[in-house]
Amino acid sequence: MTTFHATRRRMAPRTAAAGLVAALGLCGTASAQSVGADFGLELRARYEGFDNNLWGAADPADDGYLWLRALPNGEVKAGPLRGYVQLAATQARGVRLGEGPVDTTGIDRLQSFAELRLPVGDAEVTLRVGRALAPLGSERLVARRYGPNVPQAFDGVRATVRASRVKVDVLDLRPVAVRPGNFDDRPSGAESLRGVYATAELGEGAGLDLYWLDYTNEQAGFEQGAARERRETYGARFFGERGAWSWNWEAVLQRGRFGDAAIAAWSVGTETGYRWADAPLKPALRLRANYVSGDRDPNDGKLGTFNALFPKGKYFGELSPIGPYNIANISPTLSLDLGGGVGLDLTAAAYWRASLGDGLYDVPGQLIREGAASRARFIGAQAEAALTWRVDDRLALSTSLSVFTPGRFLREGGPSEAIGMIGAEALWTF
């Protein structure tokens, strides 16, 4: 990945905004130093090439395309008030499978919100209204979707309270439905997300997240069928670093209704790492292990398929043909520091179906292989090498090579060619 980052700042004299702050009495009289504006720009170009996309089931199976993205942004601050706007100008060239919401949105508002920060006793309260990215925790369930060309934004309200070592977010949001025209993205009429997300610093490099999310989708679909979905998610995440060790462990329980069916789903995700900081190449080993429940029987009046809600776009790596639904996987990664800002990641992964009664889904949650196609559990194995070069504080480059070899489930249920994928990215920000 290539990244160039810089920021231009202009401090303005007393303006109408400063007068408004003073009139509201929020922080006395706004001084020249409390009013200002920032501007920035991010440019990204990313190429992805596939052989045997979806194991040869896609039409066409071989594809190569270029994503282009520009994200200009600007903000104005006046005391406790902040206004922020970020546009997205995106193009997808050569997408032979048909452009979708992750490929292009033309020119549109990615973010545009107003924010107010106020001290309340020993705490600080922030109220944000408008359109914004809304990542939560490790982004397993609500992510920016930054890897694909179009990130995932939300319209709505978010209140944040920070006190001592605790932060609590209360949110009421609707995901933005991406459309291909200019300035035509609108909040979804089918999906909504509410919830409370709390984070506590436990000391000695450890933290704990506890959260409740209430999700509704009027047009949900799983192998069991299509119906209205109302799903409550209860989760806990324990994370941190101590010495050479790092960890990020998360457990999630879901309950609700899918049409007339009761929802009972769950997930456990773990990531544990160790780094030899004083050894040559500073090797670091990271082990990821996940279990995500599936549906045992599509005809039993219950739904056991976990819903990852709004996950990151590249969930299991640069090549992610499958998503976090009805799956168990284990994935070790070896990271090496080659010096001069160059790093190398070598990753292997193996995937199994969690339930034989459910099928295989992609990252957005669409069914791509029915469970009845085979009684086998093993989906396949993946190997990936990713090379990154941080040229300087403003520029970084990356390239990756991935191969996904199908297992018995894919071989018995349809096309089963090995997927090959190459990626290259450059990111520049100003």
Q: How many domains does the chain have?
A: 1
Confidence of residue 203 (pLDDT cuts 50, 70, 90): confident
Q: Does residue 115 fall inside a structural domain?
A: yes
Return the CATH number at 59.
2.40.160.100
Residue 381, judged by CB atoms within 10 A of its CB (0-12, 13-18, 19+), counts as middle
Q: Amino acid identity, residue 195?
A: G
Q: Is residue 61 part of a domain?
A: yes
Does residue 1 lie within any of the structural domains?
no
Given a cut of 60, whether residue 11 has pLDDT beyond it is no
- As a whole number of angstroms, the distance between CA 85 and CA 87 comes to 7
Residue 154: C-alpha distances to residues 61, 108, 111, 139, 218 (Å) = 33, 13, 8, 14, 17
pTM here is 0.90
Query: pLDDT tens digit string along 35-71?
Result: 899 999 999 999 999 999 999 998 888 989 999 999 9
Tell me, yes or no, whether 21 lies in a domain.
yes
pLDDT digits (tens, 9 = 90+) for 167-179: 999 999 999 999 9
Q: Which of 180, 179, 195 is nearest to 234 (CA)?
A: 195
pLDDT (0 to 100) of residue 33: 52
Tracing tokens 């199908």 back to the chain, one arrives at: 406
User: Which sign does the torsion angle of CA 321, 326, 330, 331 carry?
Assistant: positive
Of the chain, the end-to-end C-alpha distance in Å amounts to: 16
Q: What is the pLDDT of residues 85-117, one digit of tens each?
A: 999 999 999 988 777 889 999 999 999 999 999
Tens of pLDDT, residue by residue over 329-344, are: 999 999 999 999 999 9
Percent of the chain with pLDDT over 70: 92
Q: Three-state DSSP class for 32?
A: helix
Express each pLDDT in 228-281 by its tens digit: 999 999 999 999 999 999 999 999 999 999 999 999 999 999 999 999 999 999
pLDDT at 360 over 90: yes
60 or 303: which leads in pLDDT:
303
Rounded distance between C-alpha atoms, residue 98 and residue 190, angstroms: 23
Q: Average of pLDDT values for 136-154?
A: 95
Domain-embedded: residue 235: yes
Could you tell me if residue 3 is inside a domain? no
pLDDT at position 226: 94
Show the domain range for 134: 8-429
